[in-house]
Amino acid sequence: MIPLRSLILSASIAALAVFSNAVPTPTEFASIEPTPTAGHEPTSTATTEPNPGNPATPTDTCGLLSSINPTELKYQHVVDCYNAIPFDSAQATTTLATVLTLFKDYYVFTDAALARTAPEPFANAPYDIVGELERIGRSKYTSDYKFHRDILAAVTGLGDGHAAYSISCYESFFFTQDLSLYAPVVDGEQSVRVYLDSAKRGYEDCIVETINGENALSYLQAYARDIYGTSHDPNARLNFMLASQTYDTASGLFTDTPGDFSQRSTVPQGPYLDYRLKCANSTDTVKLREEWRILPQIETAFTDAASYVANVCIAPPEVVAPPAEGGLLRRRDEPVRRITKRAKPEPTPPSTGPQFPSADLLVIGNATIFYHLKDQPTIGVLVCHTFLPSDVEAEKNVILAGLTAFHVHNVTNILVDFQGNTGGSIDLSSFLVQMLFPNKGPLDAAFPSDMRVSKPMQELAKLSYNNSDYGYFNARDFINLSNGTAVYENNDLFDKPVTLNRNGRRNLWTEKTSLNFPPVAAKYMTAVASFPWTAKAENIRILTDGRCGSACGMASYFWTALHNVPAYAIGGTHGEDLSMFSFAGASVLKLSELQGFYKSANLTSPLTDLPYKNTITFSWLEMYGHGRTTPLEYDAELYRPKHRLGFTPENARSREVMWKEVAATAWK
């Protein structure tokens, strides 16, 4: 049996009244029915005729969408098909009842999200996810698309990168712009510029003065503040939106990738964006109207709205196989945040020689890469671009090999680059922490944690005790903190919950506990004991852009808060705070996994399977900083870095340049 601790993931996106915890019955959603009042869908203006080469004449807008050559698809073709999907009151009732129960009884931050407005670098106001979902239940819909879009907006409003509502039906086409943007600081002034022009018109580094007639930086900041989720910090969200260099494991290169502003799986607000550019080689301004390019993400055939629903939207009957050897947790998940591969540009190899001429590549794994700076030979760079390698145990050996290579090359100072790491395995995160700062006590690299408790969850936990085949709720995978460092020898963690009042809501919670991580094997601890940087904060620095999520944020927390390692946070808005990390205070679970746990245990789930294919994720285990009373997810004080940096046209396009800049500042 594979233990929970070695497989559990923590990945990878208004104040309302407090409501009771009673699970709504279908009659409470009586207003979810066809009515003459539609929502705020984009207005249909499509006039495209069917492809004359297609012998079949489309019978509706989805048929038209299907008949058009993919290279000729337009924004409105997709919008019109989405709006043609018939609204089904019964399906809507089932969907909302399940989502509401999930966020009432299983989501750990339902009550914490009601807290007062958080201090900087956060900017989130109190948020009532239950109230938002109940408001949807009281609304009248004729549009299925708007119904699901409203649920998506409600979940996104949490600002929790672990909470996601993704319905395949309305994310089957990708929307992308030819212009990718970034916001460098030049001579103390920040401006939005073109990072990459995929249409090859030579607009790179032209200043973007306006977007849709508004100041470009203000436009992007408003989008990050009001529309885009993923973090409680709008400046971290801004970095998620903008272009960056991302490590591509297939090519072994850092590649230029558009941000989430220029590439979207959800429908943008209009068919195009208007830009006004100012380029260095011209005194004139350039006005561009850039339509969204459409990239299909499905290969399923459909000929009209009915077949689109049947083939693309509706989830097939689920066949529940018996638990595999080692349990359901043997299966690996993708991070919550995922970019569709077909929307990524092909990596461009360097013209000659290595990608970074002044940085020797020493060791490379699936999650970590080790570089040695030639011009600053006492400095090594440990790039950790994910905590989700194909083999966690193998990656531990890679990390040891990389640190050993540093030692052989007389490295004394290490820069850890966490940019764009949106999480993965908590086990690997804890291991990396201890490879630089070995534990002095068994719980040094563990988080005090708790979970919401409900009757159905207690029934599942009772069957799960000492049997992780039935999911994450096995008390033996947790430490009994009231009894030192021993695991639970019974099911008291779930059988004896405590009642807590959080922000006006009373609910049942487990007592404080912690995941049971085994000590790091002696072979690793013996090896690192002699390294010159081990347990020395002055020899270690962290570089992050706030896109360090979940397990990455957990590692950053331990190093900065407990071991006083200075962190450099780059990007965001010049002159403002920027979080070192995002959504660091929880572990993630999929709705489908939770359903699988109940089915494997032969229990009736309180949640009905959704009619549509979906990826719904939620935070199920919340964590606290050591000695803190606010959940880490909302403990804004712990997110502040010691140092701030801005992107420049040079360092934004070369990690090597950035590493040298940080190293020169950190170790003078």
Average pLDDT in the 330-336 region? Answer: 38
CB atoms within 10 A of CB 274: 14
pLDDT at 424: 94
Q: Which residues is 487 bridged to in the sheet?
A: 479
Q: Which residues is 193 bridged to in the sheet?
A: 182, 207
- Residue 342 pLDDT > 50: no
Distances (CA, A) of 562 to 5, 383, 443, 663: 22, 21, 12, 22
- At 504-520, the pLDDT tens digits run 999 999 999 999 888 99
Q: For residues 71-108, b (16+ Cβ closer than 10 Å) or e, as one string?
A: eebbbbbbbbbbbbbebbbebbbbbbbbbbbbbbbbbb
Q: How far apart are CA 392 and CA 586, in angstroms?
A: 20
Average pLDDT in the 242-262 region? Answer: 95
Q: How far apart are CA 550 and CA 622, in angstroms?
A: 11
- At 371-385, the pLDDT tens digits run 999 999 999 999 999
- Residue 196 pLDDT > 90: yes
The three-state secondary structure class of 262 is: coil
pLDDT at 118: 84
Tell whether pTM > 0.85: yes
pLDDT at 606: 97
- Residue 571 pLDDT > 90: yes
pLDDT at 318: 57
Least confident of 185-199, 333-347, 544-558: 333-347
Strands 424-425 and 9-10: antiparallel
pLDDT at 117: 81
462: Cβ contacts below 8 Å, ≥ 6 apart: 491, 494, 495
- Mean pLDDT over all residues of the chain? 88
- Residue 221 pLDDT > 50: yes
- Residue 20 pLDDT > 90: no
- Residue 572 pLDDT > 90: yes
Residue 358 has phi, psi (to 5 degrees) of -100, 10
- Residue 217 pLDDT > 50: yes
Least confident of 32-36, 214-218, 326-330, 577-581: 326-330
- Residue 326 pLDDT > 50: no
pLDDT at 371: 98
Q: What are the structural domains of the chain?
A: 14-170+297-313 (no CATH), 174-241+256-294 (2.30.42.10), 355-438+520-585+631-666 (3.90.226.10)
Provide, rounded to the nearest whole percent, the portion of the chain with pLDDT above 90: 80
Least confident of 49-63, 125-139, 146-160, 547-561: 49-63
Q: How far apart are CA 403 and CA 280, in angstroms?
A: 45
Average pLDDT in the 177-196 region? Answer: 98
